[in-house]
Chains A and B, each alone.
Chain A
Amino acid sequence: MLRRILIANRGEIAARIMRTCSRLGIETVLAASEADLDSVPARLADRVICIGLAASAASYLNVDAVMAAAHRCGAQAIHPGYGFLSENSRLARACAEQGIIFIGPDAEQLAAVGNKLSAREHALAAGVPVVPGGAVQTISEARSLAQSIGYPVLIKAVGGGGGRGMKPVQEAAVLDAMLQLAAAEAHAAFADERLYLERWIGGGRHVEVQILGDGNGVIHFGTRDCSIQRRFQKLVEEAPAPNLSDALRTDLHAAAVAFARHLHYRGLGTIEFLVDDRENYHFLEMNARIQVEHPVTEAICGVDLVAEQIAVAEGRPLRLRQQDIVFSGHAVECRINAEDWTRDFRPCPGILQQVEFPAGEGIRVDTHVQSGTQVPPYYDSLLAKLIVHGGDRPDALRRLNTALSRCHIRGVECNLGLHSALLETDDFHQGGVHTGWLPAFLERRLAGSLHG
């Protein structure tokens, strides 16, 4: 049983992990940058250790500083949260070599899914459908592959993630130029300019399945829909994914479990799928960590995913069988970001003057801010996540509507108004919008405000 965990992260997820640790009687030490020494998570932690300067590269992304902090405070395990070093195989390997538990999969599994091309190959080997496509090493290879799978195609980076190095190509004439652009972006972002091509699937939905493995068995916790996104950044997530046929839902669950089983996966993870309007599904990638949107799954399953993640990391077998996972109702999460959505999502660091959130049955707020908090310019803009849980989807949306009106954040601009505007649309009420819906909605609004 773990006694002390180093949390190598910041923001709401650091506070979230501490809540579970405190319930389990595990001491927490927060590894914080200089900019975060006075943050809410720093106040909630049992101890705080400074791992470097504000810039992420000098602190939260520094494997050696994190390992040194773990030894210094006598932590038996490191929880990496999401982002930063959460899927870094070097940290996982350093932990394994130095007798510290990395709360995540092992270095080989991280490498297998971190390389998007190798993840694709594992999906094929596990019998999980992928988008037609493949690796391209030369321009001529790319030309002939694009020809055979048919335009439009999507160029992706093998190093993968966050939309960087990703370029849609409508026609053969611009393929060469786009390949060069994508390679440059991929090199800058991942120090790896290898690319692959996939057929571009328009009108698709982003549906993912939460899984947990102990190295032998794998169970799933159902679907989430994360299609409301902009520039590959998710804004609203819900569980279960609405408006899917039972047959497709069953297939997605089975595909996710098959993929994780094929890897003998040990840890918490998410398999992402693209679902087209004819209910065909394709493997996109696996996220080998806790995700931002995990609370919607916790709401409908009544499970503490961080507690289960810690248990398998300790080497314990799964404590839940598939039949123990019972779904109840519907949950929606809104990401509340410090950005001015009326001015092209301009980021808004600054000092929060007032922070007030709703409370009550079916309402959960995961946050790292309070009145007086300084939102630093160095990190992402997530202030809080508002999660509502209702008996069914209409009930959850009703609850969301009144809950949003009781959120008051003053001092920096935030996107609460956008969430309220989304909630007024018929499409969102209907459920099951595709990934192009939010950008189109924003464009229509912009056009409307210019003409009106």
Chain B
Amino acid sequence: MNLTNEDVQEILQLLDATSFNELHLETDRFKLALRRDGAGEWTQTLQVVAQPSLLASAESPALSPAQVQPARGEATADTQLVEVRASLPGTFYRAPQPGAPPFVEIGAAVEATTVVCIIETMKLMNSIRAETRGSIAEICLADAQFAAKGAVLMRIRPEPG
């Protein structure tokens, strides 16, 4: 049995008639804590502790490790290269929209302000800039791959200037 807003209202009506300022209720499905502040107003903390009851699906989708493991980018021996990292976790896109040419290819010359890829986080598209003048030396992720926060997306060979 799950707890509803109406249930909480009913409990509060009972509590309002008492001098208790706190109530803890625990079942095998949820834990509820109700607290009354100095002004007589209530707050609630609800924790659903019931475990999900997973039904095995007929054909479970095939998962390749690359799809499950967010890419973190690989180490490189070349210490001259400057990394472009994901400031937020999200999906890495090389092009502004499906079917469009990629922002950059290996070898492309970039300015600090050049947009090199997009990270989609929570349905928002965030343009990622090179932040370094130089040329693209490495593209570390495949298009539409998931990038963890701080993942290395690309490496740039900086050019003085």
Q: A44-B2, A46-B53, A73-B55 are in contact. Are A360 and B42 (CB under 8 A)?
A: yes
Report if A429 contacts B (CB, 8 A). Answer: no
Q: Report chain A residues within 8 Å CB of B41.
A: 358, 360, 402, 406
Report if B8 contacts A (CB, 8 A). Answer: yes
> Which among B117-125, B133-141, B153-161 touches the partner chain?
B117-125
Name the residue of chain A whose CB is nearest to the CB of B40. A360
A347 contact from B12, B48, B88, Cβ within 8 A: B88
In angstroms, Cα B30 to Cα A32, docked, is 21
A43 contact from B48, B58, B123, Cβ within 8 A: B48
A357 contact from B44, B52, B67, B88, Cβ within 8 A: B44
Q: How large is the interface on B (under 10, 10 to 19, 20 to 34, 35 or more residues)?
A: 35 or more
Q: A19-B2, A349-B121 are in contact. Are A356 and B58 (CB under 8 A)?
A: no
Name the residue of chain A whose CB is nearest to the CB of B97. A188
Report if B73 contacts A (CB, 8 A). Answer: no
Q: Report chain B residues within 8 Å CB of A48.
A: 52-55
Q: Mark A204-225, 1 if CB is under 8 A from B, else 0.
A: 0000000000000000000000
Q: Report chain A residues within 8 Å CB of B49.
A: 43
Q: Report chain B residues within 8 Å CB of A408.
A: 43
> Which among A49-57, A113-121, A124-132 touches the partner chain?
A49-57
Q: A18-B2, A50-B60, A377-B89 are in contact. Are A370 and B48 (CB under 8 A)?
A: yes
Report if B18 contacts A (CB, 8 A). Answer: no
Q: Mark A375-412, 1 if CB is under 8 A from B, else 0.
A: 00111110000000000000000000010001010000
A53 touches B48 (CB 8 A): no
B88 touches A349 (CB 8 A): yes
Per DSSP, chain A at the interface is: mixed
Name the residue of chain A whose CB is nearest to the CB of B67. A53
In angstroms, Cα B2 to Cα A188, docked, is 42
Report if A239 contacts B (CB, 8 A). Answer: no
CB distance from B54 to the nearest CB of A (A): 5
Report if A278 contacts B (CB, 8 A). Answer: no
Report if A2 contacts B (CB, 8 A). Answer: no
Q: Report chain A residues within 8 Å CB of B39.
A: 402
